[in-house]
Amino acid sequence: MGAYLTIRDLHKTFYPHGQPLKVLDGINLEVEKGEIYGIIGFSGAGKSTLARCINRLETPDSGSIEVGGTDILSLSKKELLKKRHKIGMIFQNFNLFDSMSVYKNIAYPLEIDGVPRAEIKRRVQETAELVGLADKLKAYPGALSGGQKQRVGIARAIVTDPDFIISDEATSALDPQTTITILDLLKEINRRSGITILMITHELDAIRYSCNRMAVLEDGKITEAGNVREIFENPHSKTGDLFARVFMLMQNVDLTNGGGI
């Protein structure tokens, strides 16, 4: 299908207490249109900073980021706001408004875009139906389970009809059974709409269950990238090797014999 997300030689340094801390060190990455692509790494590897650079919540020091053929780093503030409407974000901690109903949480990005009320109602109801929350629109986040809260977060991310979703540790706060239901939902959204999903996580099962291709992020660098099965079976990086060993230990399966990937 061709690349939807292309990152070239991306660098980002922070300066805590005046001292340089290089968080992204020459990232190169290509994600094809319509795929669910995984990025895996341990805490501190630079995963969230990479996500924030892609949607320009952080500005990189150097490099290039193209999303759907658009150079994100060259956009004006007005152009960037418009482009962000086509980039959905799903967060680990849900980022919901506790004082708003489920309906209002989902409708929020449409309301700030000035979408007519009747159109908002139609799109919220359709999206709530898709994510299995049609009967929860009057409820408030405090009355929802973790999985239901994440469904609200997913609904809010897709109600604007984006071309691209960044899932930043979206299942990390959920139990294993709920994680599977959320991953199934993301796969169904991808199947129905062909939306491109970048799944950033430290969870082995999430990558294994959802993605065909992945990259390993280690100390701000992509240390290997390719087919999920191949990386788990024959890792070429310290992080990839450790993830593969932990995975086999936890699952007690032989990946060369299928492993469910």
Residues 134, 32 share a domain = no
Residues 113, 76 share a domain = no
Residues 66, 20 share a domain = yes
Residues 227, 145 share a domain = no
Domain count, the chain: 2
Supply the range of the domain harboring residue 76. Answer: 1-86+164-176+192-261
Rounded to the nearest 10 degrees, what angle do helices 146-158 and 176-193 cross at? 20
pLDDT for the residue 242? 79
Tell me the C-alpha distance between 81 and 86, whole Å: 9
- Write the Ramachandran bin of 127: left for phi over 0, alpha for psi from -120 to 50, otherwise beta: alpha
Residues 252, 168 share a domain = yes
Beta strands in 129-244 (DSSP E): 164-168, 196-201, 213-218, 221-227
Q: What is the CATH number of the domain that holds 222?
A: 3.40.50.300
HSE value, Cβ hemisphere, 13 Å, CA-based, for 235? 21
Residues 168, 157 share a domain = no
pLDDT for the residue 219? 92
Residues 147, 55 share a domain = no
Specify if 184 maps to a domain.
no
Specify if 230 maps to a domain.
yes
Residues 250, 129 share a domain = no
The mean pLDDT of 90-108, rounded to a whole number, is 92
Q: pLDDT tens for residues 179-202?
A: 899 999 999 999 999 999 999 998
pTM (predicted TM-score): 0.88
Give residue 247's pLDDT band: very low, low, confident or very high (50, 70, 90).
Answer: low
pLDDT for the residue 148? 94
Residues 170, 73 share a domain = yes
